[in-house]
């Protein structure tokens, strides 16, 4: 996914273009993992020279959710994890031991009978780190 979808959403909603919004979106684009707020802030500190307030960060994340650019998944303790939305069905694993959220390959779940209305699937099981 590229910045084109973000720019398209900005034009449709007639929002101002913001460097902070682009920086947050770039952090999400560069990661293959699901990121929580702390991960996003750490990614921003590496790439964006200014400090972004939590209010601004949450406001832009909500903007991405409304535009259907990202998916938000909450673990059992209501900690939110964010991932860029993909064109295909997304499968997430919430670890029953460490509660981290990770993406799984859909190939492992190809046998599932899935309706078109499903946005994503969440599976609760131990992650690879916790099973070893």
Residues belonging to the binding site for Zn(2+) are 95, 98
Between strands 120-124 and 101-104, the pairing is: unpaired
Q: Hey, what are 80's tokens?
A: 């939110």
CB 96 within 8 A of CB 124: yes
20 to 23, 61, 119: CA distances (angstroms): 5, 11, 27
Q: Is 84 helix (H, G, I), strand (E, B) or coil?
A: strand
Detail the residues annotated as belonging to a binding site: 95, 98
């Amino acid at each position: 996914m590229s910045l084109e979808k973000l720019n398209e959403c900005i034009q449709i909603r007639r929002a101002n273009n913001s460097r902070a919004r682009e920086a947050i979106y770039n952090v999400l684009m560069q990661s293959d993992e699901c990121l929580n707020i702390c991960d996003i802030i750490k990614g921003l500190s590496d790439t964006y020279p200014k400090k972004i307030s939590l209010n601004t960060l949450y406001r832009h994340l909500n903007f991405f959710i409304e535009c259907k650019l990202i998916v938000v998944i909450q673990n059992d303790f209501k900690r939110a994890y964010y991932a860029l939305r993909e064109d295909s069905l997304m499968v997430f694993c919430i670890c029953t031991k460490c509660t981290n959220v990770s993406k799984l390959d859909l190939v492992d779940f190809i046998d599932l009978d899935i309706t078109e209305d499903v946005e994503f699937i969440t599976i609760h099981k131990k992650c690879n780190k916790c099973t070893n």
